[in-house]
Amino acid sequence: MGNSTHKLEIFRGLVKFKSNQSKIWAVLFFLSVVTIIEVALGIVKPEVLIVNSFLSMKLINWIFIILTIVKAYYIMWDFMHMRDELRGLQASVIITLSFLIAYLAFILLVEGNYIFDVMYEGFVSWNF
Amino acid sequence: MSSTITTIEDDNTDVWGGGNKPLNSSYGKLMMWFFIVSDALTFSGFLAAYGFSRFKNIDSWPIADEVFTHFPFLHGVDAPMYYVALMTFVLIFSSVTMVLAVDAGHHMQKGRVAFYMLLTIIGGAIFVGSQAWEWGNFIRGEYGAVETKGGQIYQFQSSETGKRIALHDFAVEIPSERVQHESKNGVWYMGESTLPSYTTQEVISGFVANDDIVIKTEKIDENGHKIILSREESLNKITQAVSVVEGANLVNNEYGNRLFADFFFFITGFHGFHVLSGVVINIIIFFNVLVGTYERRGHYEMVEKVGLYWHFVDLVWVFVFTFFYLV
Mapping DSSP onto H, E and C, the string for B80-114 reads: CCHHHHHHHHHHHHHHHHHHHHHHHHHCCCHHHHH
A&B contacts, CB < 8 Å? 157
> Residues B133, B70: one domain?
yes
* CA–CA separation, B181 and B197 (whole Å): 15
Q: Between B248 and A125, whose confidence is greater? A: B248
Position B253 in a domain: no
Position B14 in a domain: no
Q: Residue A49 in 3-state DSSP?
A: helix
Asked if B99's CB is within 8 angstroms of A79's CB, the reply is yes
Of the candidates A72, A69, A63, A57, the one whose C-alpha atom is nearest the C-alpha of residue A41 is A63
Position B58 in a domain: yes
The 10 Å Cβ neighbour count of residue B81 is 20
The domain boundary, picked from B200, B221, B246, lies at: B246
Q: Are B227 and B219 in contact (CB under 8 A)?
A: yes
Position B275 in a domain: yes
> Residues B181, B86: one domain?
no
Kindly provide the residue ranges of all beta strands, DSSP E only, lying in chain A, ordered along the sequence.
9-10, 15-16, 53-54, 57-58
For range A40-69, the mean pLDDT: 86
- B245 DSSP β-pair partners: B145
Q: Are A51 and A94 in contact (CB under 8 A)?
A: no
Q: What is the pTM of this model?
A: 0.87
**3-state secondary structure string, B169-180?**
HHCCCCCCCCCC
**Res B156: pLDDT:** 92
- B146 DSSP β-pair partners: B154, B244
pLDDT bin (cut points 50, 70, 90) of residue B2 is very low
Asked if A31's CB is within 8 angstroms of B3's CB, the reply is no
For chain B, give the percent of residues with pLDDT over 90: 45
∠ CA(B290), CA(B294), CA(B297), 5° rounding? Answer: 145
- A15 DSSP β-pair partners: A10
* CA–CA separation, A32 and A20 (whole Å): 18
Which residues of A, range 23-62, sit inside 8 Å of B by Cβ?
24-25, 27-28, 31-32, 35, 38-39, 42-43, 50, 61
Q: Is A64 an 8 Å CB contact of chain B?
A: yes
Cα B112 from chain centre? 32
* CA–CA separation, B213 and B50 (whole Å): 33
Domain boundaries, chain A: 1-84, 86-128
Cβ-nearest to B37 among A39, A79, A97:
A97
Residues of B in contact with A124 (CB under 8 A): none
The domain boundary, picked from B194, B222, B246, lies at: B246
Domain total in chain B = 2
For range B130-153, the mean pLDDT: 90
DSSP state of B251: S
Amino acid identity of residue A1, one-letter, is: M
- Domain range for B226 is 145-246
ipTM: 0.88
Cβ-nearest to A24 among B52, B54, B100:
B100
Q: Between A35 and A47, whose confidence is greater? A: A35
The domain boundary, picked from B246, B271, B286, lies at: B246
Those residues with Cβ within 8 angstroms of residue B121's Cβ, 6 or more apart along the chain or in another chain: B279, B282, B283, B286
pLDDT bin (cut points 50, 70, 90) of residue B111 is very high
